[in-house]
Amino acid sequence: MKCAIEGSNVKAFGKAVHALSRIGEDLWLDPLEKGLALRAVNSAHSAYACFLFSPLFFQLYSLHPGTQSPGTPIKCKLAMKSVLPLFRCLATIERNVDRCEISISTEESRVICQFYCRHGITKTHNLSYQESEALQAVFPTNLCPNVLKAQAKLLGDIVRHFPASQEEITLAVSPVRVILKNYYEEESDRAKVMYTEMSLHPDEFDYFQVGVDSHITFCLKELRGLLSFAESHSLPVRVHFGSSGKPVSFSLDDMPLTATVVLATLDEDASAPPSQTAPSQIGPVHRCVGAPSVPTSPRGTLECGGGEKEPEEENLHVAPQGGPVPGEERVLSSQASPVFSPALYLRKLLELPKPPPAAIVTAPGAARSSHTQHGGRGGVCLAPPHGTSPDACTDYADRAHGDRACLCHVQDGRQLYASHPSYCQGSRAPVWCPVRAEPRCQSVGVTQPGMCQRH
């Protein structure tokens, strides 16, 4: 792959790298027919971002430059700390850089990034990369009941009111009102926390569609990168979301580039009636952790899925690359590998036997604490697809789970957990894992059975 970026687009590219650096520690480069995709995911797999630069963005964009034999263009992963310094000072880039050329050289196993600057100065950076599967998250936005579209300036003004250290915020929508407030955990000292709540009228949005009253809590820090990118280009941002527990997607669209950030949201009590979660209430409602959560309301689970076909009965393993799994939803991805679809598992969930009763923690304080440990984030699995055998997974060096376990270490909130009971460090009673059909130690396990368990 070889591409060239001219003039002010170099700064835009740099800004995209900055936004992605706020999400994860690695940058995935995926050259596609439709453009160059830059992706990042955070370690907890609760945030994913993708910036897709169409060929129009580039002065020159070639998947198979002259000498390279046609074949699949190489996909690679770079450490963010090697890439970010190249674009660190955007003001200097704007002033000095005339042109930037990026190419992937398989012979030397290097990504070559060349800056042609003023006064004839050339800066060449040869970065080592790791070959990797492409990273992709599935999130069919067309099926989300709630859609908002707002100018970047509006969103920027909103988040400015929250302190820079604010980790999570809650967005609550109803047909008449949109409320944003900061999310706090009740354990924290009430005297030290500043509560901020903003209420907006639907008219302030360019587009407002609320199918389902909901309030979702997501991480603001990871979003700031995209918002600052949008503000610098004065682009409107579209927000697609559903009920709590389902991911929220922020996307923007400028002719030559599209950017998407998908964040997992905190899973509130799925069985709580809508009236209890009215936007006027301060603080989200937490559920007791011990209780196994099976989504009872039929609305949530199936909407987010996309496939009309029935999923294959027994085999929940993601098939190895190459062969399509019949009945499984496929999302167009460059290497034609199956991409994980959460809907598949959610549907499967309803057919499984009822899990055995688990210890129920009744004290709200205790529930809260375990809730925060686990995070309870539901949503889409964002890890790259991998084969059935642990050895097939090349992405994660961390084999702490053991050879039987899922290697993508899908994480709940920010807590790394093992999927095998023997790795449990705590003393909580196990919950039934419906996917693996075996007990799962809960202190290091999943609180929401719908959580992706990739095996």
Q: Is 267 left (phi over 0), alpha (psi -120 to 50) or beta?
A: beta
Q: Considering the complex, what minimum distance in angstroms separates the CB of residue 129 from other proteins?
A: 9
Residues making contact with other proteins (CB under 8 A): 79, 81-82, 85, 88, 92, 96, 110, 118-128
- Nearest residue (CB) to other proteins, 110 versus 149: 110
Q: Considering the complex, what minimum distance in angstroms separates the CB of residue 383 from other proteins?
A: 24
Q: Considering the complex, what minimum distance in angstroms separates the CB of residue 27 from other proteins?
A: 12
Angle between helices 152-160 and 221-233 (to 10 degrees): 140
Please name which of 25, 17, 88, 79 lies closest in space to residue 259, comparing C-alpha atoms.
17
- Nearest residue (CB) to other proteins, 82 versus 369: 82
- Nearest residue (CB) to other proteins, 125 versus 233: 125
Q: Considering the complex, what minimum distance in angstroms separates the CB of residue 240 from other proteins?
A: 36
d(CA 370, CA 373): 5
CB 226 within 8 A of CB 49: yes
- Nearest residue (CB) to other proteins, 8 versus 92: 92
Vertex 15 angle, CA 181 and 410, to 5°:
60
Please provide residue 63's backbone torsions phi and psi, each rounded to the nearest 5 degrees: -75, -35
d(CA 454, CA 15): 33
Start-to-end C-alpha separation, the chain: 32
Q: Considering the complex, what minimum distance in angstroms separates the CB of residue 120 from other proteins?
A: 4
Q: Considering the complex, what minimum distance in angstroms separates the CB of residue 122 from other proteins?
A: 4
Sheet (strand 168-174) strand order = 197-200, 177-182, 168-174, 214-219
Q: Considering the complex, what minimum distance in angstroms separates the CB of residue 110 from other proteins?
A: 6
- Nearest residue (CB) to other proteins, 121 versus 336: 121
- Nearest residue (CB) to other proteins, 110 versus 233: 110
- Nearest residue (CB) to other proteins, 118 versus 190: 118
Instruction: Cite the DSSP H helix spans in 261-413.
Output: 298-303, 342-349, 364-374
- Nearest residue (CB) to other proteins, 112 versus 210: 112
Q: Considering the complex, what minimum distance in angstroms separates the CB of residue 101 from other proteins?
A: 14
Distances (CA, A) of 234 to 15, 99, 154, 226, 228: 13, 23, 10, 12, 9
Q: Considering the complex, what minimum distance in angstroms separates the CB of residue 98 from other proteins?
A: 13
Vertex 387 angle, CA 305 and 64, to 5°:
90
Q: Considering the complex, what minimum distance in angstroms separates the CB of residue 166 from other proteins?
A: 32
Q: Considering the complex, what minimum distance in angstroms separates the CB of residue 119 from other proteins?
A: 5
Please name which of 96, 93, 101 lies closest in space to residue 15, comparing C-alpha atoms.
93
d(CA 43, CA 401): 15
Instruction: Evaluate the CA torsion angle 171, 408, 40, 369 in order and state its sign.
Output: positive
**Residue 385 CB-half CA count within 13 A:** 24
d(CA 84, CA 373): 31
CB 83 within 8 A of CB 77: no
- Nearest residue (CB) to other proteins, 118 versus 192: 118
- Nearest residue (CB) to other proteins, 80 versus 144: 80
The single-letter DSSP state of residue 415 is B
- Nearest residue (CB) to other proteins, 125 versus 414: 125
